[in-house]
Amino acid sequence: MGRRDLTPESIVRLEADAVVVLDQRRLPDEEVELRCASAAEVADAIRALAIRGAPAIGVAAAYGLALAAQQGKDLDAAYDMLASSRPTAVNLRWALDEVRDDPTPARARGLHEVEVERCRSMGQNAVALLAERAAQAAPLHVLTHCNTGALATGGYGSALGAIRTAWEAGLVGHVWVGETRPLLQGARLTAWELEALGIPFSVIVDGAAGSLMAAGDVDAVLTGADRIATNGDVANKVGTYGLAVAAARHEIPFHVVAPTSTLDPSASTGGHIPIEERDPAEISTRFPAHNPAFDVTPADLVSTIVTEEGVHRAPYESSLPSPVRVVS
């Protein structure tokens, strides 16, 4: 698999006897695949971040359920195992629910195709939005956090897909990539994707975003989301909230780009979103550490939420769509 060929199937796919994922823990140093021979192994791969990104783990879980069905396993047990592999991204449960009543390979692959197609739609919607901003300050310098590209979504990308579409449209001049501690999804994965796409970028430490904004070097911030409450509060990778606070101070638009599968109709505010606490050893093996993997950005700091359905603005209670079913 060549790195210029980051197809949906190269990121996650269902084979006859396994779900195969590109092992994101080993990027950018090595491009190796991980074969998950059971739903339990898919859950392990999600938990260990071999595959990560809210939409991508939804797709992987759907494939995991289809694999369990192929293998004649207890589907309720497989569902529970996959649904509980990570707590914050709601896409996981959404994708499982989408395929649960008919967990065939065709259905799971259809869901994967729909999620990638949604990314392309989000990209188009974001371009229209960024074109307004670019009219004032083209080409735009945009800042992003974590990885929201093809790797995170099973193909193309949400926020990074939007940046890609906007760059192809001539609107983007440079991408600032927050390295995203502790696991460096920005410095490892987003940088790797941007290099492959030929989009100019610089990695920065997460703490450097504020001074770039103060210097006028950031025209827009784009991030993905792991779960969005009905009031527009957004759970995303830890550090997102601080970016949104700084962006607000500098009146820099802060856009969240995520498919409707990231919307949680059962969460009225961010306070209802469970925040995953990960192993402190990801930060320090020597000293005590506290390692929340996500934070919540309140809706008042979110300029727009871009889904495949359109560009949504406050008040989000009325502007956000419901999660859109793959098979309605």
Sites of contact with its own copies (CB under 8 A): 28, 176, 178-182, 187, 191-192, 195, 201-211, 214, 237-242, 245-246, 249, 275, 280, 283-284, 286-292, 295-296
Distance, CA of 200 to CA of 197 (rounded, Å): 9
DSSP secondary structure letters along 66-108: HHHHHTT--HHHHHHHHHTS-SS-THHHHHHHHHHTS--HHHH
Distance, CA of 328 to CA of 323 (rounded, Å): 11
* Residue that is written with structure tokens 């469970």 in the block: 274
Distance, CA of 155 to CA of 148 (rounded, Å): 10
Query: Can you state the angle between helices 54-70 and 105-137, rounded to 10 degrees?
Result: 170
Burial class (CB within 10 angstroms; exposed 0-12, middle 13-18, buried 19+) of 106: exposed
* CB of residue 304 to its own copies, shortest distance in Å: 21
Our CB check for its own copies shows the closer of 203 and 326 to be 203
Our CB check for its own copies shows the closer of 70 and 269 to be 269
Distance, CA of 44 to CA of 35 (rounded, Å): 11
Q: Which of 219, 226, 233, 264 is catalytic?
A: 226
DSSP bridge partners of 220: 142
* CB of residue 209 to its own copies, shortest distance in Å: 7
Our CB check for its own copies shows the closer of 67 and 252 to be 252
* CB of residue 207 to its own copies, shortest distance in Å: 2
Q: How far is CA 206 from the centre of its chain?
A: 18
In order of 103, 104, 328, the CA distances from 223 in angstroms are: 31, 32, 28
Tokens of 28: 């950018």
Our CB check for its own copies shows the closer of 95 and 175 to be 175
* CB of residue 251 to its own copies, shortest distance in Å: 13
Our CB check for its own copies shows the closer of 69 and 238 to be 238
* CB of residue 149 to its own copies, shortest distance in Å: 14
* CB of residue 88 to its own copies, shortest distance in Å: 13
Nearest Cα neighbor of 37 from 57, 61, 16 is: 16
Residue 102 annotated in active site? no
Our CB check for its own copies shows the closer of 206 and 308 to be 206
In order of 111, 142, 150, the CA distances from 107 in angstroms are: 6, 36, 21
Catalytic positions are 226
